[in-house]
Amino acid sequence: MSAFFILLFARLQANDGIVLPDKASLYLTAIEDAEYKEDKIEFWNNVYGFDMTCIKKQAMGEPLVDTVDQNQIVTNCQMLKTMDISKMASGDTSFTVPFKLVAERDDYIHALVAYFDVSFTKCHKLMGFSTGPRSRATHWKQTVLYLEDVLTICQGEALTGSMTVAPNKKNPRDIDITIKYSLNGQRCVASRTQHYKMR
């Protein structure tokens, strides 16, 4: 996700320059990821008999950049925002967008996953690629935002909420992300706000 901020910074250096890629879309989906969450996050509840939950809170607040297996995807992949990087102003890097992720099967949700698609529309031939989990792996991978709750969702039920993204006030290279989500399902009712800092 920080790639957007780098592209915007480059574009603001010259008014008549061309930035490639020039179009980008941000997507969100939800995944089942019990094994990783148990190994890397829940681990802090009992480290050789010591309660290290203070570190667990830190781990939960830092998004993981990694490759997600497409078989982990539980919901639809929703486009949250499309950006014309060639016309963006510095204030456009802060935004709040709603989401509605509908379950494609009965499963658990452990995390939300953000990724982007880009287009090179200024080329003589339209080109682009996706960093999504259903596409060929790229250097940018995906951004995984682990949820405090383990959500049980049934096919057709919707996880709704909003995602807020903004540059960090102390260090503009860091990104502050706030996720508000709600699930009112047959087997699970949950509502929470979580804050993340991407470094």
Q: How does pLDDT run across 76-92, given as a tens digit for each residue? A: 999 999 999 888 887 88
How distant is the alpha carbon of residue 159 from its chain centre?
15
Between CA 182 and CA 139 the distance in angstroms is: 32
Residue 173 — very low, low, confident or very high, per pLDDT cuts 50/70/90? confident
Mean of the per-residue pLDDT values of the chain: 92
pLDDT at 149 over 80: yes
Cα–chain-centroid distance for residue 139?
16
Residue 62 is given by DSSP the state S
Position of tokens 């990724």?
115
CB atoms inside a 10 Å sphere around CB 198: 21
Among candidate residues 118, 198, 183, 116, the one with its CA nearest the CA of residue 151: 183
Band (106; pLDDT cuts 50, 70, 90):
very high
Q: Given pLDDT bands bounded at 50, 70 and 90, which one contains residue 180?
A: very high
**Structural domains of the chain, ranges and CATH numbers in brackets:** 2-198 (2.70.160.11)
Answer whether residue 10 shows pLDDT above 80: no
